[in-house]
Amino acid sequence: MDAATCLGINHQVRTVQDTFIIATRQMTNVRKPHPVNSSGIGHRNCGCALCYRDRTQLDCAHPGKCIETAKILIDRIFAKWNPAIPNPDLCEELSLTEEEPYLGAC
């Protein structure tokens, strides 16, 4: 089973938030980014609690691949809608002309 299918079936990813939670997974004991090996894929036998739970309870054979796939999916979201990219409030950049405040008051 490929990682994208595993995310949907085993991890029951349904929303962008579900994907984002997996993509930004931190090791619970040290609060640092999830470890990866030299190929950039998460360790197959990672001993962190979340990967252990994925392997034992969710029947996920490769939690590291699922994490990397979730990151790829999040990166494909257009910047305006991507939860990983800070998006300043565009309304703060708008300004009214002298006439506009009076138009709304009539």
What confidence tens digit (pLDDT) does each residue in 53-74 have? 999 999 998 888 898 899 999 9
Query: pTM for the whole thing?
Result: 0.69
What confidence tens digit (pLDDT) does each residue in 14-64 have? 999 999 999 888 665 555 666 665 544 555 677 778 888 999 999 998 888
Cα separation, 31 vs 82, in Å, equals 23
Question: Of 30, 66, 63, 27, whose CA–CA distance to 48 is shortest?
Answer: 27
Torsion angle (degrees, nearest 10) of CA 75, 39, 12, 51? -130
What residue spans define the domains of the chain?
Answer: 3-105
